[in-house]
Structure 1
Amino acid sequence: MEYEKMARADLIKEVNRLASLNEYLLKEQRLADRLEFGWTGNLGHWYFHYGSNRVEFNELKVTTLGYDLEELPEIVPYEFFTEKIHPEDYETVMQAMVDHITGEKEVYEVEYRIQAKDGSYKTYHDRGKITQVDENGKPVLIAGIVFDVTQRVLMQEELQEKNRILAEKAVKDSLTDLKNHRALMEEMTKALEISLVTGEPLSVVFFDLDDFKKVNDTYGHQAGDRILIEFSEILKDSLRDSDIISRYGGEEFVVVLPKADNQAALRISDRIRLRVESFEFSGGIKVTVSGGVKTFEGEVLGELIEAADRNLYQAKARGKNRIVG
């Protein structure tokens, strides 16, 4: 900077700025020497001269973004960084600074995405505080530290995705991707509670593929698995999004039909039975299905499923490939 070309007023401002910065740096060094300074990080400190809108910083803050120091303006304004903040994070960052300046928050602290030179985004964690004010109590110098937490955020996102997958697997049948027995019990309990409160009907259908052991013995378990998957697709294609479809175990499936009385449940179940009867499964295998229907009448969950299972047993006893309810 060519100080000899500066006007007297600007020169005084520059002297004051340097004096303020020097005073803070000396204080920071004393704290660091006594191991009392808690802010340590891989991108170093930054200093925002509030009145002159000038930012000074460790070069790592910009080189991490892919910029060379030669590309920077001689005086780096606050906007050099804020204009690179991800649009979804911009308001959060600005509000964090406003909250600190107005005294709403003791410390300015925020995490945000910032665009690198190549267009990708890093995640920075900023923490700062007003360290000097003027005679009117307005900020003169805000000092802080910035961390590149990109890897930590990526690891957190990866962990969240893994947890999501694990949580999904905990309630899904691994073969058919339908809800498993555990998920059925949980969702059915909620559905029964809603039915009791609203007075709306609810029916349960217990399906079982007929003579499925013979299918496995004749064609092998891999063929049997394909049939279970294809039957699951028939169920999903035949039912509403609001219906609960589950693989109860083996070749048994339970479907919960909210807002469906006994007659509606029988119609829906028989439509599925007819689709299965006319469907040619993988390998040209033909299969039929039986079902037991029970409409909720205030019984507890276990009793409702047992009643549907008893009707399924009656369907099997009467010759299979039929619905009883």
Structure 2
Amino acid sequence: MEERWNTLPCGYVSISTQGLIIDVNQTFLDMGNYTRSNLVSNHIESVMSIANKLIFHTYFYPFIQLNGHVDEMYISIKGSNGKDIPVLFNGKYYNEDGVEFIDCVFVHLGKRIDYEQEIRLAKQQIEEAYREKNDALAKMERLHLELEQKQEELIKLNTLLAVLSTTDGLTGLNNRRFFMEKLKGFYLTYQQTNIPFSLLIMDIDHFKLVNDTWGHPIGDQVLIKLAQILTEFFQKEDVVARYGGEEFVVIIPVEGEEESIKVAERLRMAIQTADWEIGEITVSIGVTTSNPNDTDLSILAKADKALYVSKANGRNRVTHTKYLSYTE
């Protein structure tokens, strides 16, 4: 079976959800005259031109996230000699025991391209003949207008897909993917400017009890209302996102330790005193502020640790990492 997989009549590549190549069969290596060592652990976009990278970003990633698969995507990859290789590309997302990856299949379209070139040439000849007649010219103008309309629809669709790929479908807030990209950007800016920022992670207290008592539709309404409170509470320059489940995150730029604690306390009280139809809803909040020893991931881990301490100490409270010993 291993030999059959390696010599399939199509190229096979397995990539991580970040696009890093995990495995590849011999057919794909032969297709582009690649070597395994030059591909494995590199990004799949390393074999694409800039134009095809753009297609990959605006079509592949959004559809994988929305549907779990992409069918019949037409792109060109670059062989080791720099020559474009037209391929028909399919991809499917898998999650096995918590490990996420995407299997991709590439079919070389060399002969099909030749046929398409012949068809295009024939079409050009027909169009030249039609131009000799006024009625054919009018028809072509109408077709051109329809094509422009379709292109505008495609641009709108791609824009919508880009928004959907970074938006939480239930609350309308930014999603985890958007948040992680923003966190990385804030961290890089902090490295260059030393202007601090703070990160809040909050968790709805006893949210499982809400779902078990009132049902998931009411639980969803609680999440939606909390998202509305967060949107109204924070400024436009703050980054508010749903991290997952009943967890929400906020990046506050240019805020030090003490000010971030005050902001978190005001938020905690605003949520506690809000008009909840099912009774009081509270949140536990963990807060951290950037320092020179941090990375983007360590900042997130520290805020999560502070959240854990808030929950362990009775919930409905704010904990900043400045008060933690990290020896617990």
What is the letter of the counterpart of residue 176 of structure 2?
H
Question: What does the per-residue CA deviation read over 1:251-277, in whole Å, with 9 as the maximum and x for residues that have no partner?
Answer: 111111111111121111111111111
Counterpart in 2 of 1:201? 196
- From 228, 231, 239, the equivalent of 1:233 is 228
Q: Indicate the SS of the match to 1:311.
A: helix
C-alpha separation in 2, matches of 1:180 and 1:40: 50
- From 208, 216, 227, the equivalent of 2:211 is 216
Counterpart in 2 of 1:285? 279
Contact kept, 8 Å, 1:315 with 1:323, in 2: the verdict is yes
Structure 1 residues 147 and 202, CA gap change in structure 2 (3 angstroms)? same
Aligned-residue offset at 1:183: 1.2
Aligned-residue offset at 1:212: 0.7
Aligned-residue offset at 1:284: 3.7
Counterpart in 2 of 1:137? none
Counterpart in 2 of 1:265? 260
Counterpart in 1 of 2:170? 175
Q: Indicate the SS of the match to 1:149.
A: helix
**Root-mean-square deviation (CA), in Å?**
2.5
Aligned-residue offset at 1:208: 0.7
- Percentage of matched positions with identical amino acids: 32
Structure 1 residues 316 and 43, CA gap change in structure 2 (3 angstroms)? farther
Structure 1 residues 43 and 263, CA gap change in structure 2 (3 angstroms)? farther
Question: What does the per-residue CA deviation read over 1:96-153, in whole Å, with 9 as the maximum and x for residues that have no partner?
Answer: xxxxxxxxxxxxxxxxxxxxxxxxxxxx8xxxxxxxxxxxxxxxxxxxxx67411111
Question: What does the per-residue CA deviation read over 1:148-205, in whole Å, with 9 as the maximum and x for residues that have no partner?
Answer: 4111112122222222222211111111111111111111101111122122110000
Contact kept, 8 Å, 1:204 with 1:256, in 2: the verdict is yes
Contact kept, 8 Å, 1:43 with 1:148, in 2: the verdict is no
Structure 1 residues 177 and 38, CA gap change in structure 2 (3 angstroms)? same
1:294 and 2:294 aligned: no
Counterpart in 2 of 1:256? 251
Aligned-residue offset at 1:36: 9.6
Structure 1 residues 232 and 305, CA gap change in structure 2 (3 angstroms)? same
Aligned-residue offset at 1:317: 2.0
1:58 and 2:148 aligned: no
What is the letter of the counterpart of residue 192 of structure 2?
V
Structure 1 stretches lacking a partner, 5+ long: 1-34, 47-56, 65-123, 125-145
Structure 1 residues 43 and 311, CA gap change in structure 2 (3 angstroms)? farther
Aligned-residue offset at 1:233: 0.7
Question: What does the per-residue CA deviation read over 1:51-79, in whole Å, with 9 as the maximum and x for residues that have no partner?
Answer: xxxxxx825667x7xxxxxxxxxxxxxxx
What is the TM-score normalised by the length of structure 2?
Answer: 0.56
1:276 and 2:271 aligned: yes
Aligned-residue offset at 1:42: 9.7
Contact kept, 8 Å, 1:41 with 1:147, in 2: the verdict is no
C-alpha separation in 2, matches of 1:255 and 1:175: 18
What is the letter of the counterpart of residue 225 of structure 1?
D
C-alpha separation in 1, matches of 2:151 and 2:173: 28
Structure 1 residues 163 and 37, CA gap change in structure 2 (3 angstroms)? closer
Aligned-residue offset at 1:41: 3.9
Counterpart in 2 of 1:320? 315
C-alpha separation in 2, matches of 1:257 and 1:280: 26
Structure 2 stretches lacking a partner, 5+ long: 1-120, 321-328
Counterpart in 2 of 1:160? 155
Counterpart in 2 of 1:192? 187
C-alpha separation in 2, matches of 1:292 and 1:37: 65
Contact kept, 8 Å, 1:42 with 1:147, in 2: the verdict is no
Q: Indicate the SS of the match to 1:248.
A: strand
Q: Indicate the SS of the match to 1:265.
A: helix
Structure 1 residues 297 and 59, CA gap change in structure 2 (3 angstroms)? same
Structure 1 residues 37 and 215, CA gap change in structure 2 (3 angstroms)? closer
Larger C-alpha radius of gyration, 1 or 2?
Answer: 1
Contact kept, 8 Å, 1:43 with 1:147, in 2: the verdict is no
C-alpha separation in 2, matches of 1:36 and 1:313: 69
C-alpha separation in 2, matches of 1:168 and 1:250: 20
Structure 1 residues 270 and 147, CA gap change in structure 2 (3 angstroms)? same
